[in-house]
Amino acid sequence: MRKILITGGAGFIGSNLCDHFISKGFQVVCLDNFSTGFRHNIGHLLSNPHFFLIEGDIRNLETCKKSCEGVEMVLHQAALGSVPRSIGDPITTNEVNVGGFLNMLVAARDSGVRRFIYAASSSTYGDSPALPKVEDVIGKPLSPYAVTKYVNELYADVFAKTYGMETIGLRYFNVFGRRQNPNGAYAAVIPKFVIQLMNHESPVINGTGDFSRDFTYIDNVVQMNEKAMLTENSEAVNQVYNTAVGDRTTLNSLVEYLKEFLSEFDGEIKNIEVVHGPNRTGDIPHSLASVEKAKELLGYEPTHDIRTGLKEAVGWYWENLRDSLQSSE
């Protein structure tokens, strides 16, 4: 049985990866310090004999080495996300996202891990105005978070060339779906809007609402991780890939879609007014990915567009959050 390590495995994306690869017959080691992940995301897996939880921090090299023992592949998701968080506390963001990343690379190298797949970010495109975003054309970073994710790509490239490791970076574009936390100061926009609408509160859009994003449903992200992990195409490794749909949606359209789907559960939601606030520091105006490289080299085919994904996500949130509705912090 093949053994893989998923760092940040109790988080939103990580726990979905844990579920998927357990269902596919892998042995899964989950490393998490529960700073942003939750035990309830993986509680159902704890009794599975093929699932192993290591509670620890990637800032500790010995923890990373222990986690990599006997592991063939690493899916590195552990990080401190959020542009605003990084602006408020760039030092901790760097310690986790750069120091922790380097620890994981060293541990993977020393343990003989065959392939190291890591969560990169669309924030790496920075101030580049070009659309769609193509992997080889990036701008200058606009936040400390963006700097850390770009440094990840540089380190991965150096480790591939210097130590012969196989690395693949996945530049995630605005991932959403089941288990994405709607609460807290750094909640992502979709779950935040969902919980506000369910509470009959007006969602606050930063700016005019004309900013657009390539919102990417979690199932597409799981598929990309699996393709990256299992590819036997030698040209596909030691690369970075956009992980997205290749379509863009404005924030105004996003809210209208959410109101439409949530109104199927609560008719009053469609009448909720939207409030507009100031633009957020560090935000890029538009984001749209080209996914041609992933299609060509990895055989990626996104299964969910924004509406299909939102409909599934809204159903999950309604089922899982309606009994414990609370305002986002």
Residue partners of 158: CB distance under 8 A and separation at least 6: none
DSSP H or E run through 217: strand 216-217
Of 50, 68, 59, nearest in space to 5 by CA: 68
Separation of alpha carbons 67 and 31, rounded Å? 7
Separation of alpha carbons 161 and 165, rounded Å? 7
Separation of alpha carbons 155 and 99, rounded Å? 11
Of 38, 36, 115, 14, nearest in space to 72 by CA: 115
User: Catalytic pick from 118, 125, 145, 172?
Assistant: 145
Q: Structure tokens of 171? A: 């530049």
Q: Structure tokens of 311? A: 């409909």
Residue with structure tokens 């093929």?
Answer: 50
Of 225, 230, 245, 10, nearest in space to 118 by CA: 225
- 217 flagged as catalytic: no
Q: Structure tokens of 293? A: 């490289």
Of 176, 173, 114, nearest in space to 149 by CA: 173
Residue 176's identity, in one-letter code, is: F
Question: Which residues are catalytically annotated?
Answer: 145
